[in-house]
Structure 1
């Protein structure tokens, strides 16, 4: 097995019982405990107002914890100002100086850090080469595309060689194609250099694509921590199941238990799944749209309510006795028309039992 490269400066981050309260009663982050390994890219993911950006800003020193402790490496930085923390942050807005050249923008922080002008220029040029912008030294930000401007912002942060590199919604100003390209660039740079990166986004696909680990946040607290695959395949509850990619939440009955397995019944369709600690009785099933099979054997009855062609796949809205469902199918050559009766079953592994 190839060992992951870790930068000599990359440091772990640890939150112990950290709470952030604004005013007298607005709890933005509520008693969170979190450990981020050195050299890993960890994403804070959640809906607006869940506390993810506040958490990131507390690492940066732009917000101070009300209580608890924050460590970067072995150093307690809980009360340190941003200027005394060895971190760099890439903002959503890029924050490039429009009157400065690309090289001057990248070298700007190095000058404040005490580097001689010649060395700052050399390091800035190396940073631009690292992000694929060699030869762009003399251009102004206005002469660059949105994706190139974001790379300049990344280069400016990288040349400072921080212990931790922070990204705050870095791709939200880019179109879909550029988002995919730049997120791949960020991930490649992080892996090549072995950086510790903490990355904030509300975009589930983005989080799944770039992360070693994802921290899902809800209502100022942590809902679940895990690898992208763990969160997608084994969500702890309905919120995580529905937030990490789409999920159909379906009522079911757990009819029997056999060791770690449970037999479940969905409208007469029976199958076995890991019980995940649930007992017999009413339950809930999370099923990904791509893991629904239509007319591939015995299942439960449904009807096609809506059929949509989106190029690479068909999307179907289904009507069932217990409500609506959403399914996607790869077969675009033989679409099912609205009103068509179908048998719905599940592909395995796929459905997951979650607390109802």
Structure 2
């Protein structure tokens, strides 16, 4: 269980709006709470408002309307220097002419510590991120992942109430991203930090977050745990954005309490109704929750249009009378060949109904 650092503070947005110029709404009337000691990710496509929201926490942008609180303190009109937050930027923003130790020490010099305390705290920060022997190097002598860890150490040594990350892994390759995101999550949990983290990478958000705030068109589409958002998306946008989903038009032909029966190309399937009435709806189905079986089995008549081997699984494009679907299967020993006739069915759990837009 994540412990809560004594300095970690909650963040609250109450009906916050940010408008640029006369009519460009970057953030539209959002209300949000980030619990102290938790890691919350702001996730969404470019232009959705996530980075503007982060910058308003930092004090780098001022809210046009509404209230922002860090802990119980109203910081809405306070400058960045008075907010007790630290930010790790996408570009790392390290000083190229300073050593690693000097970079990490930089902010401490303005915090009232003497030279010995500054050095001790900076060394402790480097030790925390696994770079205690790198203090004498220049940033140019480090890998991208090591530079990112220096930026994290520089932010951590200031012991902020809230630590902010703006697309921190976007400059790293896929394998290194996985490693560094695990390190960030481990540090956050070990130290009990409040972290607000911005990314457009769904897998990254699922891997590091206590909660995810999905944003769309300057507003919040849904807030929930990674599992909540993946398994119970509120609408088609969230279903498609959080992991890949097939969005299939279906008809709810019957409801019985909390259960709905849907018709899909002559195939019927029962699943939770989620409060939807009879009539048209959308079915969101993860590729792994589509079941391929021999023609004549439970499901719609279908044909394999494309089969791709990607190492640990097969990826299939499957054609039916109601559309084309993307399915995956872990059986790489006996792959289905293009042109094979199959039955396309639904797993017992996983498919979820969402309203038609």
Under TM normalisation by the shorter chain, which class is it?
Answer: over 0.9
**Residue of structure 2 equivalent to 1:143:** 141
Residue by residue over 1:20-58, the C-alpha shift from the partner in whole angstroms, topping out at 9 and shown as x without a partner, is 000000000000000010000000000000000000000
Residue by residue over 1:96-148, the C-alpha shift from the partner in whole angstroms, topping out at 9 and shown as x without a partner, is 01111111100100002221111111001000110111211101111111000
**Residue of structure 2 equivalent to 1:187:** 185
**Residue of structure 1 equivalent to 2:300:** 300
The CA deviation at 1:270 is: 1.4
1:285 corresponds, among 270, 273, 283, to 283
**Residue of structure 1 equivalent to 2:225:** 227
**Residue of structure 1 equivalent to 2:117:** 119
**Residue of structure 2 equivalent to 1:217:** 215
Residue 36 of structure 1 pairs with residue 34 of structure 2: yes
**Residue of structure 2 equivalent to 1:263:** 261
| 2:100–2:137 CA contact under 8 A, matched in 1 | yes
Inter-partner Cα distance in structure 1 for 2:138 and 2:301 = 61
**Residue of structure 2 equivalent to 1:243:** 241
**Residue of structure 1 equivalent to 2:330:** 330
TM-score (norm 1): 0.98
**Residue of structure 1 equivalent to 2:57:** 59
**Residue of structure 1 equivalent to 2:45:** 47
The CA deviation at 1:159 is: 0.3
Q: Which moved more, 1:261-270 or 1:194-203?
A: 261-270
**Residue of structure 2 equivalent to 1:273:** 271
TM-score (norm 2): 0.98
Inter-partner Cα distance in structure 2 for 1:302 and 1:113 = 67
**Residue of structure 1 equivalent to 2:314:** 314
Inter-partner Cα distance in structure 2 for 1:149 and 1:129 = 14
Residue by residue over 1:311-342, the C-alpha shift from the partner in whole angstroms, topping out at 9 and shown as x without a partner, is 11111111111111101110111111111111
Inter-partner Cα distance in structure 2 for 1:287 and 1:250 = 8
The CA deviation at 1:4 is: 2.8
3-state SS of the aligned residue for 1:148? helix
Inter-partner Cα distance in structure 2 for 1:117 and 1:186 = 28
Inter-partner Cα distance in structure 2 for 1:322 and 1:29 = 38
The CA deviation at 1:267 is: 1.1
Residue by residue over 1:214-248, the C-alpha shift from the partner in whole angstroms, topping out at 9 and shown as x without a partner, is 00000000000000000000001100000000000
| 2:306–2:318 CA contact under 8 A, matched in 1 | yes
The count of residues paired between Structure 1 and Structure 2 equals 354
Residue 7 of structure 1 pairs with residue 16 of structure 2: no
Inter-partner Cα distance in structure 2 for 1:126 and 1:320 = 60
The CA deviation at 1:289 is: 0.4
**Residue of structure 2 equivalent to 1:82:** 80
The CA deviation at 1:265 is: 1.4
Inter-partner Cα distance in structure 2 for 1:262 and 1:42 = 34
Residue 71 of structure 1 pairs with residue 69 of structure 2: yes
The CA deviation at 1:71 is: 0.1
5+ residue gaps in structure 1? Answer: none
Provide the alpha-carbon RMSD of the alignment. Answer: 0.8
Residue by residue over 1:79-112, the C-alpha shift from the partner in whole angstroms, topping out at 9 and shown as x without a partner, is 0000011000000000001111111100100002
Inter-partner Cα distance in structure 2 for 1:169 and 1:301 = 44
